[in-house]
Amino acid sequence: MLRRLLAPLMLFLLFAAVTGGVWWNALAHALDRLEERGRADLALSGDRLIGQLQRYREMTVLIAGHPQIRQLAERPDSDPVQAHLVLQKAADITGSDELVVVGVAGQVLASSDDAARAGRDLSDAPSVRRALQGALGFHHEVEPGTGRRLFVYAAPVFSDDGPVLGAVVARIDTEAVEVVWRGEPMIVFFSDRQGTVFVSNRDELILVDLVRRDGGRNYLGQDARRLGGHEIWVLNGGPYLPRRALHLTRPLPVIGMTGEALVDIAPAERQAILQSMLAAAAFVVVGAALYALWERRRALATRLAAEAEANARLETRVAERTRELSQANELLRRTQAELVQAGKLSALGQMSAGISHELNQPLMAIQSYAENAAQFLQRGEPGRAADNLSRIADLARRMGRIIRNLRTFARQESDGMGDVDLVAVVQAALELVEPRLSRAAITVDWSVPDAPVMVRGGEVRLQQVVVNLLSNAADAIGQGGRIGIAFDRHGTRVSLRIRDTGPGIREPERIFDPFYSTKEVGASEGMGLGLSISYSIVKSFGGSISARNPAEGGAEFTVELDAAQGARAA
């Protein structure tokens, strides 16, 4: 269970790591670029503000040296009309809110503004105090009654011989400065040392206290965080301020303020999200491709395994079948050997009557020859007795041959292959069936060759084949006919032909089938195995056996065998 969950979990973690990594990297890059641009813009804004204020500062110093102004400062009780005109003109040209000349005690002597009455006391203003001490004064303030934000420059008015007579004070409304860069995309503001925003291109930020956040005065509700080396403010400042912004600062010691900028990071975030989504999509596509590849390999492996298994099954089946087959073969071989033996015994059964007659006849002859010989000896005719005795010996030899043939024929073991004299085989077979042939008055036509005809085969089994063919011929003939025996040689083959004058074969194509017989079952007759046994015997010698009905009548069987090696050469 755990192992099954492990792979998807790892995959998911990898996916999250890749996507998160790409997001983080993209965001860091985008923030770097934002900061770079923001810093450049902030520097520009700061320079511009300083440049604008510089104009007022120079104007203030210049007016402080104006003869009309100095005159008024020298004689504060004189008519301020000339000075008023100078101040008014300068204010109109520079767009200052108000230009004022104060006396040495800080009391207003003249103003660019008609309505502004003389007698006002500006000695409290820090810049005026500084100017009356002989230095150029500068400060900013929020006008108590109107709430207007003012920059104030104060330049000392010196007498010819040195001491300060008064000061020229220029009050500049920040609106005049701000109006130039309202609506710029980047939020810029300038805060003083107390942390109050004094100038900004966004109304929402003006006079917001950036330091004291707890008292509810902090309109921004900002929360600062650091993100990859950047300071990010999380704002809660209404629809015109971004939710999250990059905060940049730049100290402006010339005017005693800090320039600050807020750059919306939403585009950077969008870009980072887009890139991470692209990475996620790529991950999914690549992952899917890899998964498909892996699946295919797995399917292939499964198929190969299945094939290997099927092959193994097939092989064991083949091995099993082979074993069964060889067992069956062995059984067949044994059965065949048994059949051969059975065929022989059946032939012997058929021949036994004839053979016992054949043995009986010489036995009777021997008996009478022996009796006669005894009489001849009594009569003193040893010559004739000896003649009888030699006949007896001949007959005994003949009987011995018959018995030997029978023994050989009946022997169970199958002799091996070798070179066999076919003439001797036919002679032995003829001797075995002779009693039967003579009883049926069948004549054998055979011109016995002078030399042996050597062939490849087993003597006893070959004899069995010939006995079988001769017995079948005798069966077919019945009474009083002829059997012809002949040898032929062509090349390396030798054939033995046995023909008879019987009625011929009824179904030549079936006679080699086992258990095919036209003879009556029972009696002395066979069971249709003789020819099929002969067939397999001859086949086992590499020979062949065939049968036909010759045109002149009867049946003819031909056994063809390989000639023996030595005989072939001859």
* Ramachandran angles phi, psi of 345, nearest 5°: -65, -40
Q: Which residue is associated with the tokens 């450049």? A: 40
Please pick, from the candidates 22, 355, 496, 511, the single residue that binds ligand ADP as defined by CB under 6 A: 511
Least separation in angstroms between residue 559's CB and ligand ADP is: 13
* Ramachandran angles phi, psi of 553, nearest 5°: 105, 165
Q: Which residues of 355-389 are buried (b: 16+ CB within 10 A; e: fewer)?
A: beebeeebeeebeebeebbeebeeeeeeeebeebb
Least separation in angstroms between residue 503's CB and ligand ADP is: 6
528 binds ligand ADP (CB under 6 A): yes
466 binds ligand ADP (CB under 6 A): no
Q: Give the whole-angstrom CA distance, residue 307 versus residue 513.
A: 45
Residue closer to ligand ADP (CB basis): 467 or 561: 467
List Cβ neighbours of 309 (8 Å cut-off, separation of 6 or more). Answer: none
Which range binds ligand ADP by CB under 6 A, 67-75, 260-268, 387-395, 510-518?
Answer: 510-518
Cα 538 versus chain centre, distance: 61
519 binds ligand ADP (CB under 6 A): yes
Please pick, from the candidates 472, 483, 495, 541, the single residue that binds ligand ADP as defined by CB under 6 A: 472
Q: Give the whole-angstrom CA distance, residue 113 versus residue 285.
A: 75
347 binds ligand ADP (CB under 6 A): no
Binding-site residue total for ligand ADP (CB under 6 A)? 21
Residue closer to ligand ADP (CB basis): 45 or 346: 346
Q: Are strands 244-252 and 257-264 parallel, antiparallel or unpaired?
A: antiparallel
Residue closer to ligand ADP (CB basis): 83 or 430: 430
* Residue nearest to ligand ADP as judged by C-beta position: 526
Least separation in angstroms between residue 505's CB and ligand ADP is: 4
Least separation in angstroms between residue 440's CB and ligand ADP is: 14
Least separation in angstroms between residue 524's CB and ligand ADP is: 10
518 binds ligand ADP (CB under 6 A): yes
Residue closer to ligand ADP (CB basis): 221 or 504: 504
Compute the C-alpha angle 413/415/420, nearest 5°: 155
- State the alpha helices, DSSP H only, in 152-265: 174-178
How does DSSP assign 421-484, residue by residue? EHHHHHHHHHHHHHHHHHHTT-EEE----SS--EEEE-HHHHHHHHHHHHHHHHHHH-SS-EEE
Please pick, from the candidates 31, 255, 340, 555, the single residue that binds ligand ADP as defined by CB under 6 A: 555
Least separation in angstroms between residue 410's CB and ligand ADP is: 19
Please pick, from the candidates 15, 181, 283, 516, the single residue that binds ligand ADP as defined by CB under 6 A: 516
Which range binds ligand ADP by CB under 6 A, 40-48, 194-202, 398-406, 497-505?
Answer: 497-505
Q: Give the whole-angstrom CA distance, residue 483 versus residue 467.
A: 13
Please pick, from the candidates 517, 536, 544, 546, the single residue that binds ligand ADP as defined by CB under 6 A: 517
339 binds ligand ADP (CB under 6 A): no
Q: What region, left, alpha or beta, does residue 31 occupy, with left being phi > 0 and alpha being psi -120 to 50 degrees?
A: alpha
Please pick, from the candidates 210, 437, 505, 564, the single residue that binds ligand ADP as defined by CB under 6 A: 505
102 binds ligand ADP (CB under 6 A): no
527 binds ligand ADP (CB under 6 A): yes
Please pick, from the candidates 473, 563, 564, 567, the single residue that binds ligand ADP as defined by CB under 6 A: 473
Decide: helix, strand or coil at residue 563.
Answer: strand
Please pick, from the candidates 526, 537, 541, 559, the single residue that binds ligand ADP as defined by CB under 6 A: 526
Which range binds ligand ADP by CB under 6 A, 60-68, 133-141, 450-458, 503-511?
Answer: 503-511
* Cβ proximity of 245 and 266 under 8 Å: no
481 binds ligand ADP (CB under 6 A): no
Least separation in angstroms between residue 463's CB and ligand ADP is: 16
Decide: helix, strand or coil at residue 182.
Answer: coil
Question: How far is the CA of 553 from the CAs of 443, 499, 500, 502, in angstroms?
Answer: 17, 10, 8, 8
Instruction: Show the tokens assigned to 310.
Output: 């099927």
DSSP-derived secondary structure letter, 209: B
**Contact footprint for ligand ADP (CB under 6 A):** 472-473, 476, 500, 502, 504-506, 511, 516-519, 526-532, 555
